[in-house]
Amino acid sequence: MTALTDLIRQKLARRTRRMIEADGLTRAAVLIPLLVQDGTPLVLFTRRTDTVQHHKGQISFPGGATEQGDVDALATALRETEEEVGIPRGIVEVLGTLDDVHATVSGFLITPFVGIISDPVPLRINTAEIAEVLSVPLSVFRDASRLRMERRERGGQQVDVYFYTHGRYEIWGVTARIMKSFIDAVFGESPP
């Protein structure tokens, strides 16, 4: 995992991150948590409950809206990850930041961070927000056959909506767009 960690850190540090400044959007941040199980790099996702305010039942990264006590976007991502799945912020090794993403439907402006959790930690799931936790092999997102794209209209504009399939799960929308951005930035893979 050390080689992968170094690769991610180097690739993200070398690129110019696109930041969006937009009034009227709710600031938010997410963590793309990477871990290793039996030598396989995994990405941890959550499936939101059907009772949360935004993105009901959807697969997402741990994260959420910035709160008054958060000193920056990273503090938001780490606080939300700890609140949602119980991963202590002190054990997350942050490897870099991806481009800001505008979630057009919900009005969030999201800053994604990539972090690795080197030591196994028992998860403490916040069942009010999280229905399920998934660990998906990183290789799934590097497999072009798992990715599909649809053109949809959002606010009078045509946008690309990405979908990844893993077993019975479909990872789509902003989460898939962030994941694709991560894969493109680190592995230089282009769309199918």
Q: What is the pLDDT of residue 53?
A: 60
Q: Is residue 156 part of a domain?
A: no
Q: Is residue 123 part of a domain?
A: yes
- ∠ CA 51-55-58, rounded to 5°: 95
The series of mean pLDDT values per 10 residues for the chain, 192 residues long, is: 90 89 85 94 91 71 94 97 95 96 80 92 90 95 93 82 92 94 85 40
> In CATH, what number is assigned to the domain containing residue 42?
3.90.79.10
Q: Is residue 154 part of a domain?
A: no
Q: What is the pLDDT of residue 156?
A: 80
Q: Is residue 17 part of a domain?
A: yes
Q: Are 52 and 45 in contact (CB under 8 A)?
A: no
Count of domains in the chain?
Answer: 1
Q: Is residue 9 part of a domain?
A: yes
**Domain, as residue range, for 71:** 2-140
Q: Is residue 11 part of a domain?
A: yes
Q: Is residue 185 part of a domain?
A: no
Q: Is residue 74 part of a domain?
A: yes
Q: What is the pLDDT of residue 52?
A: 62
